[in-house]
Amino acid sequence: MNKIILVLCLQTALTCCCYAQSKTTQEYDSVLEQRAYIIVDQMPEFDNSEAKLMEFITTNFHYPEEQEDFQGSIWLEFIVDENGVVRNAKISKKLQHQLTLVDKEGLRILSIMPKWKPGSLNGKNVPVKMHLPIHF
Q: Where are the domains of the chain?
A: 2-135
Are 79 and 32 spatial neighbours (Cβ–Cβ below 8 Å)? yes
Report pLDDT for 135.
85
- Per-residue pLDDT tens for 60-93? 999 888 877 767 789 999 999 999 999 999 998 8
How many whole angstroms separate alpha carbon 53 and alpha carbon 46?
A: 6
What backbone phi and psi angles, to 5 degrees, belong to 59? Answer: -70, -40
3 to each of 49, 61, 69, 104, how far by Cα in Å?
21, 9, 12, 17
Report pLDDT for 48.
86
What is the pLDDT confidence band of residue 23, given thresholds at 50, 70 and 90? very low
pLDDT above 60 for 42: yes
- Which pTM does this prediction carry? 0.77
